[in-house]
Structure 1
């Protein structure tokens, strides 16, 4: 019986590897302003993406979205809890985004559903 218990503990221990890290979100922390949306869609020439801002608070695992435009680009206004692993952000509605930060730029790319054509969308934010 002790052997089985030790074996189970060992398996649990080795299954918790670096691949299971929680989201690496320290680089996300703070305010971001939308600068571009790349998708299979079109926008009027005078659309001001900068009217959409987000704020990541990693201590609460929350992103606050503010849309001051008639358009909703990233998410609805308000606070949204997020989770994820490594470079993926998951929201409670099932939306998943891959993120990449490079200096003062944040890129959020919607995880493509292969069963839906043209659902690819990338949001580019700047500090």
Structure 2
């Protein structure tokens, strides 16, 4: 009886283990502010990009997005978002996916656009604080 319980416990332990290796990138940790936008979109030329911020927590693959105005938002409205990484792709839960890259302390997010839509190109450049 003890052997049966031990076997069942081992089977339960093995089955409860998953292969959920969460991909992380230590560079995606900290605070970033927007420095440049390239898109087929309009924005007020007097807007201060530095007020648009990303606060990444790489320990749980989430970020907080801060938008000073809801008139303009490029990733989503202000809030906290979970993300997944797949090589150089940052997939935002409930939103779009972006190719991400670093050059020094600059983070570039390039929207993975729909090839059938001609005007959805978007490149966001952030500076690490």
Q: TM-score, normalised by structure 2?
A: 0.75
Q: Matches of residues 2-81 of structure 1 in structure 2 within 5 Å? A: 23-70=23-70, 71-81=72-82
Where is the helix percentage greater, Structure 1 or Structure 2?
1
Cα displacement string for residues 64-111 of structure 1 (whole angstroms, at most 9, x for unaligned residues): 111123422332111100002111011222511000011110000000
Counterparts of 1:86 and 1:59, CA distance in 2 = 17
Cα displacement string for residues 42-67 of structure 1 (whole angstroms, at most 9, x for unaligned residues): 32321211111001111111011111
The match for 1:118 is 119
The Cα RMSD (Å) is 1.7
Counterparts of 2:118 and 2:43, CA distance in 1 = 19
Aligned residues: 107
Pair 1:106 & 2:107 matched: yes
Retained in 2: the 8 A contact 1:28–1:101? no
Name structure 2 gaps, 5 residues minimum. Answer: 1-20
Q: TM-score, normalised by structure 1?
A: 0.76
The match for 1:92 is 93
Bigger radius of gyration: 2
Judged with a 3 Å threshold, the aligned counterparts in structure 2 of structure 1 residues 118 and 22 are, in CA distance, closer, same or farther, namely farther
Retained in 2: the 8 A contact 1:24–1:87? no
Counterparts of 1:63 and 1:90, CA distance in 2 = 12
Counterparts of 2:78 and 2:44, CA distance in 1 = 22
Retained in 2: the 8 A contact 1:110–1:120? yes
